[in-house]
Structure formats: structure tokens, C-alpha cells
Structure 1
Amino acid sequence: MFIKLGIIYFVFKINKNLELELAMKQIILILISLIFVMAGCSKDEKPAENDKVPELIDVVIKMPETLKANVSVNIQAAVTQGNEKVDDADEVKFEIGKAGQEDTEMIPAKHQGKGVYAIKYTFTEDGKYTVVAHVTARSMHNMPKKEISVGTGGNTAAGKQIQQSQNTGHSHGDEGTQQPQGNDSTEHSHGNESSEHSYGHAHGNTAIDFQAGTSINANEEAVLTASIQNGGQPLTGADVRFEIWQEEHEPHEFLPAQEGENGKYSLNKTFTAQGVYTIKIHLEKGEIHDHLEEKIDVK
């Protein structure tokens, strides 16, 4: 009898020890798994800490020095990002139009390799033209413009190229200079007119006054106007563009304004969605380079 009881006790103790050992092994496995998970998370977080702001894409329009009517020419856009040639652009198109005319042609470009996108184009008559390269690549948009003359009147194909890129600053092609960013020397004033939203900006001898309607509604055409003066006089013959975007949407839109009377430049724009939009007006004429940035609420 005592022997049987001894055997039962011995077996019971062995089972208890086995259960305890198994429980300890499970706890150890759980701790090891947690260590690996934490190590993996810390590795994932390190790149985020070292993230750098990507360099902007740069676009240079290239075309022959001499342009003649009814002769096919090769027009290229060389796209780079830092020292890298961009061969994976989402879209590259050339917009070509004659000065003073609203109708333009939009022509998709073909990738030629080494960051070059090109089209063949024939100007059918003499005159002044604008060539705009619309480039979307790597979640950025750049649309430089080149003003040219075909045939009589002299050729300016190698002249100034105006760069407009997604960043808040802007560069100026062959001039090799970049407009400083920031508002250290800029004063802004906001009008209290009841008839429309008005935003003023004065920088040196240049003043930009931006007006929008009293109420801007989605899917309805709105008129955006920039009244520009230099030295107290209306500034005419300037290149004025509206950069428009919402913070959560990319890329930005760059839209040319139409010049009116007395230094007024306007854009008819239909906003397709409600929300707050940022409007940045880019002004360039000769040595004058300025901009005004404001926000509007589309209902």
C-alpha cells in the first residue's frame, strides 16, 4: 500500500515539474518574440528619422538656334533631379501657341533616353511663339516656358526660359539666379473690402493686389485677378502665373494669366472640390521677380 502511494506521489511530482518546465519555455519564447518585434520596429523607424527632402526636378527646353517656318524641328525637354537623369517621368507634354492667341496645341513627348523627352514640330508661319514643357515626375510638376521667334523678326529660341516648379521658390533658366525664399523683407496687407476678397503685397517698388469673388463655389467658374504696379504705375507686359494647390493634393497647377488693362492679369478657374486652396502669384518681367501667396476657401 505504501509502495503504491509512493509511486503515485512520484508520478504526480514529475508531471508538475514537466508542466512548470513547459510554462517556463513558453514564457521564454514570448520574451524572445517581443525582443525581435521591438528590434524590427526600431529598424523601421531609423529611415524616417534620416528622411531628406527630395531634390526638385529640373527641366530645360532645348531646340535649334535657327527657326524657320514650314521646317520640322526637334524640341526636347531634358529632365533631371540633382545629378540624376529622370527616365521615369509620368507625363511630358509640350504646349505650343502663337503669341496673342488663346488656342494652343498640347503634344505628348516621347522618351529618348538619358532623361530627354522630345517631339518633332513644324511652325507653319513666321511670328512669336511660346513653348511650355509640362513635366510630371516623382510627385512633382514643373512647366518651364520659352519665348521664341520664327522666321523674320529675329530668333530668341536660345533666350530666357522661365522655370516654374513645385517648390515655393522659383528659378530663372539661363539667368542662373534663384529668387530668395521667405518673407523677411516682404509686407502683406489684407483689405477689408466688402465686395470681394482682396490681398495686398508690396515688395520694393512692386505691389501685387490679388482679388477673388465674394464667394467661390466648387464647380463654378471663378475669376482670379492680380493688379500689379511698379513704381506706382501699372505694370504691363509681364509674365504672370497662378500656382494653385491643396495641401493634401499633388502636383501643383501652374496656370498662365491673361493680361488685361492697367496692369491687371486674370485667370478663369473652376475648382472641382471644396476646401482651402493656396494661390501663389508668380510675377516676372526683366529684372523684376516677385510673388504673392494667399489662401482662399472654396465652398
Structure 2
Amino acid sequence: MTLKKLTYLVILLSVMVLSACGKEDDNPGSDTNEDITLKTIEVDLQVPEHANPGEDVLIKAKVTQGDEEVEDAQAVKFEIWEKNDKDNSEMIDFTDQSGGTYGITHSFEKEAIYEVQVHVDARNMHVMPKTMIQVGEASLDDYEEQSDEQSHDEHSHSHGEGATAEEHSHHDETDITVHLADNEWHVGEESKITIHLEKEENPYTEARVRLEIWQEGNKQHDWVDATESNPGKYEASYNFTQSGEFQVKIHVEHEDGTHIHTQENVHIH
């Protein structure tokens, strides 16, 4: 074999060895990609099944991501209302934290069935499980009868003079939850406003979401469209030009006939 052929052979073998090494390096990389796959946030809402009126009750939410406790949640709020009366709900920030468990101590004033829902914003995700608690001797059957009577009254009223399609959708779509994510907004900065929509504890997608924004005492109302960035998560940008109290009215429409709105008070620094 000539020296020239021997040189070509050495070069060829070197290229083959380097190629093999490159393939071996690819495999560990694929394992790494699997390891960094984003896991969803899970929330275990812990509420006693029964309590007495005036009794202090511990309500907790354990927040995890995979096997890790989430200790850096941006916001954890507990929303409480008497069944069938969500319009008068009370929103309470967590007061105790131990690792990834957030809690409050709460007492219920009267015998009733109450709904408890926790709103958790953590690591760019929003989770809001819900459960019920019986206080005193209240019966769930009473609320089901009340709901049936209310539905009958609304049905009769909707067929009366002047009933509109919008009235139907307001009555029928009360299972849609609208949540304005907590944030601290400042004058002169582009503020990102995030809204989460859920229906029966699932993301409510493909809705048209518009924000009506105005300052207390000001007749001028600005309208801003929000876009869906993730399933059930809608975002909009707005520049607040003054500090103080503002009203944000969230309008939700959908091709399924839904047309609802809810209003929030926000403070601009």
C-alpha cells in the first residue's frame, strides 16, 4: 500500500469514529429534553365536609409541580360564597404558608351550604379547583329546589314582553368562571392584563374577550381586545395614564351564545 492510500484510509477511519461519537452524544441530549418538560401545577384543596356556625375552620391548598412543593406562588386566594349566590362571594388572601401549603382560618356565619374555590397563580399557570362545605344542618336539597324554582321563574320571565337573547345567555351560563389575575400596575407603563376563563373546571376557549376600562368619576371608557395566549388564558395590554382607582369590566362572548360580563376594581400606583 502506498503512503498516499494509507493517508486516505486514516482520514476515512477518523471521520467514521467522529460520526459514531456524535450519535452517542445525541442520546443523552434527548434524555435531558425529557427531564425539562414542563409539568402542570396541581392543587389539592382541603376543606372539612362539615362545620358549625361561628366555628373556626382551617382551609388549605397544597400546590405541587411533579414531586416538588411550589413555595413561590404569585397569588393564592380563597373565594367563598353561599351556594347559588356567587355574586356576593368573598375573596380572601392566604394568611399561612408551610412549604407548598397555603391556608386561611375562616368562620361561617350561618347554617348554609357554601362553595369554596381557590385561585392559584404559579409559574405562569392558573389553577382553581372548587368544593363545598356544609355548615350546621343545612341541606343541599334546599338549594336544588331553590335552583329549580329560580329556573322556572326565569323561563317564565324570558317569554314575557321584551325578553332578549342576551338574557337567556346570562341565566344559562352561570357556570363560567371569570378571574382577573393579580398584578401590580403602574402609571405610564404598558400593563399586561390577564384573564382566566373556566367552564365546569375546564379552560373556556375560543371566546371573544374585551375589556372596558375607566377611572372612577371619568365618563371616558376605553375598550381593549384580549387575545387567547393559552387555553382559557386571555391577555391584553393597556397604558394607565393616571394613578388611583380604576374599573375593569370584562366582557365575554362566544359563538355558543354566551354573553356575560363581570366588573373588577383595581388600584394603579
Greater length-normalized contact order (CA 8 Å, ≥ 6 residues apart) = 2
Q: Considering fraction of residues, name the structure with more helix.
A: 2
TM-score, normalised with respect to structure 1: 0.41
